[in-house]
Amino acid sequence: MGASKSDFFTQQQNQTAEIFKALGHPARIAIIEHILSMNSCICGDLVDVLPLSQATVSQHLRELKNANIIQGTIEGKGVCYCINEETIKQIKSILEIYIESSEKKNTGCC
Amino acid sequence: MGASKSDFFTQQQNQTAEIFKALGHPARIAIIEHILSMNSCICGDLVDVLPLSQATVSQHLRELKNANIIQGTIEGKGVCYCINEETIKQIKSILEIYIESSEKKNTGCC
DNA sequence: TTGTTATATTGCAATATTACGATAAAGAAA
DNA sequence: TTTCTTTATCGTAATATTGCAATATAACAA
């Protein structure tokens, strides 16, 4: 079919997957890294930095916003972006649980 | 178009995005969590646990393997799966860098 | 050998994503 | 007002992903 069967998974699993999915594109990683590399919140010079059209950059920004990874506040005629630390911390802690859980298993089968 | 312009991004960015992408599906999150919930490496009872056909589960497993998130070793007529801790740690540390970098910025613009 | 079980692969249809040109919307500057 | 600048959205084409039935492969059992 093509549509993923989200209904069969837990809300947690769906939400976790959605954040990871939003991070799963090199352009969006580049956007995040560029926002972080600025010493202040960035006000939309992303189009100059990325090899993508303005429309495409805007679309990637929307996806990051939808996943709560970045926030944008209107500032005059531009928009000011910054990272939503909470979301990053949230998935970091999920990974920590995975690592912990994996370390508890002392079967050397793989 | 539709293909992502990987050539324009760094190898690091592409690799990071690929791991996140592999984690970006609820079925694959469920697979990881099920593998971790077992006290030993799991030997392929995933099809019974997931609401997906054997073919689909196998495909998801391949994607997790390609991204180095899980490992599978043949054991008799079955396959034994476990998590590749290193890869999880690798992306955890990327997120840590993001968080650190974000915390250094004390502009309260967002 | 044949049969059974476990996993992988192939082929295909349905759906989603990616990218961009064109256009819209909204504030700033003239 | 008009024009410019900045960002968002629409429409569309190219490509990728998801899911499954059918089939293949591989190891064991009889």
User: Mutating which of B5, B6, B14, B23 best tests the A interface, going by the most A Cβ atoms within 10 A?
Assistant: B23
Percent of chain A with pLDDT over 70: 92
- The Cα–Cα gap between A41 and B27 comes to 35
Mean pLDDT of chain B: 90
CA B30 to C1' D23, in angstroms, rounded, equals 27
Touching B: A residues 7-36, CB under 8 Å:
8-10, 13-14, 16-18, 20-30, 32-33, 36
Q: For A58-81, what is each residue's pLDDT tens digit?
A: 999 999 999 999 999 888 889 999
For CA atoms A49, B10, B64, B35, give the dihedral sign.
negative
Residue pLDDT, tens place only, B37-66: 986 778 788 999 999 999 999 999 999 999
pLDDT value at position B104?
A: 85
Query: For the ranges A68-77, A99-108, B5-14, B17-26, which has the lowest average pLDDT?
Result: A99-108
Domains identified in chain B and CATH numbers: 14-104 (1.10.10.10)
Nearest to A64 by CA among A34, A107, A24, A106: A24
Count the alpha carbons within 13 Å of A74 in the hemisphere toward its beta carbon: 2
- Split at pLDDT 50, 70, 90, the class of A57 is very high
- What are A68's two structure tokens? 């709560």
pLDDT given for residue A10 in this prediction: 96
- Cα–Cα–Cα angle for B97, B99, B105, rounded to 5 degrees: 105
pLDDT at A44 over 90: no
> Using the beta-carbon criterion (under 8 Å), do B28 and A17 form an inter-chain contact?
yes
Q: How many CB atoms lie within 10 A of CB A39?
A: 10
